[in-house]
Chains A and B, each alone.
Chain A
């Protein structure tokens, strides 16, 4: 199975700051990329998807994709304590529809 790598953190940012979460993947044919948020004891929830190189913005969230560098990131602007969670990067496996997840980055937003 192809690898999806994330820094486990924890990443600690003050309230109102920008949180930057990074992910690298090993499968060059990957075309679809996703960011899931998982609160402690809860199930993963999709927050962003990105398919093309460049930036995609949705509210306070921006996903960035660079296929040449095999790198995808998630920026959270004006971070709030409610953003404290684990963020999982995911990639479709083998051009199919099942996901290969990274182990996640724990984000802590401090008031």
Chain B
């Protein structure tokens, strides 16, 4: 399997622009998670989905952030408008709870820089 795929790997944008991060989970996995990592705050959960349905979005920092999972093989995290404090590495992870697994497999991350 190719593992969790994220794109783009790096994104540099200017304040106020819309940013869309993409994730393809491992095929067959029923859970998908979006995390954000910064030096100050560490790795924080933003939102997670089960079978394409959002379960907990309490970690989404504000209304500028939104996430969708239109099908089992694709999810997006959108920031509109972006701000410099959104600069971080954003990770997508997936897991297969159907078969009893607890391990979350992380994608390579998207490094976002907002100028």
Residues of A within 8 A of B (CB): 1, 32, 34, 42-46, 49, 88, 93, 96-104
Contacts and interface: CB of A to CB of B under 8 A. Distances in A.
A88 B35 CA distance: 14
Given A34-B102, A43-B91, A98 B45 contact: yes
29 contacts: A32-B102, A34-B102, A42-B108, A43-B91, A43-B106, A43-B107, A43-B109, A45-B106, A46-B103, A46-B104, A88-B42, A88-B43, A93-B56, A97-B31, A97-B97, A98-B45, A98-B48, A99-B33, A99-B104, A100-B45, A101-B35, A101-B42, A101-B43, A101-B44, A102-B42, A103-B41, A103-B42, A103-B43, A104-B43
Nearest to A4: B42
A93 B102 contact: no
Nearest to B92: A43
A64 B109 CA distance: 30
A54 to B, nearest CB: 18
Interface in B58-115: 58-59, 91, 95, 97, 102-104, 106-109
Name the prevailing secondary structure of the B interface residues: strand
Contacts of A42: 108
A44 B106 contact: yes
Interface string B1-35: 00000000000000000000000000000010101
Contacts of B31: 97
Contacts of A99: 33, 45, 104
Contact of B56 (A34, A43, A96, A103): A96
A44 B33 CA distance: 13
Contacts of B56: 93, 96, 98
Nearest to A102: B42
